[in-house]
Amino acid sequence: MEFKTEYEFVLPRGYVDADGNVHREGAMRLANAKDEIVPLNDLRVQRNRAYLIIVLLSRVITRLGDLHEVTANHIENLFAGDLRFLEEMYNRINEDEAMVQVTCPECGARFEKEFGRLGE
């Protein structure tokens, strides 16, 4: 079983750049701890907590159409439906409940184990 760290997507509408080009296909990677901590120091997030998802998505989206880099400016100019789509995708792929392939330390048998949320 391969551990997947990047997920492709197609936006419902797409990001329209200054030249009128539409960018719909992209990829999002799994978030790490730094991705979720660094935005908290961003002044835009401190002034308006709703801006957190904008900064967070700009960190984890690795590709969007032909753009060389995805910035917060790109994310804040998405159509509302595309932003909701990406936010739902982020939550789905970064869920802390997961099926993980484990190996029994005593008999060596391999099986899938579901781990719950931290603190439960």
- pTM score, two decimals? 0.77
Cβ neighbors of 48 (< 8 A, separation 6 or more) are none
What per-residue confidence (pLDDT) applies to 106?
76
Residue 51's region, left for phi above 0, alpha for psi from -120 to 50, else beta, is alpha
> What tens-digit pLDDT sequence spans the chain (120 residues)?
678 899 999 999 999 999 999 999 999 999 999 999 999 999 999 999 999 999 999 999 999 999 989 999 999 999 999 999 999 999 999 986 555 566 777 788 887 665 444 333
User: What values do phi and psi take at 114, rounded to 5?
Assistant: -90, 125
Strands, E, within the chain: which ranges? 6-16, 22-29, 61-64, 98-103, 110-115
- Please state, in angstroms and rounded to a whole number, the distance separating the CA atoms of residues 32 and 59: 10
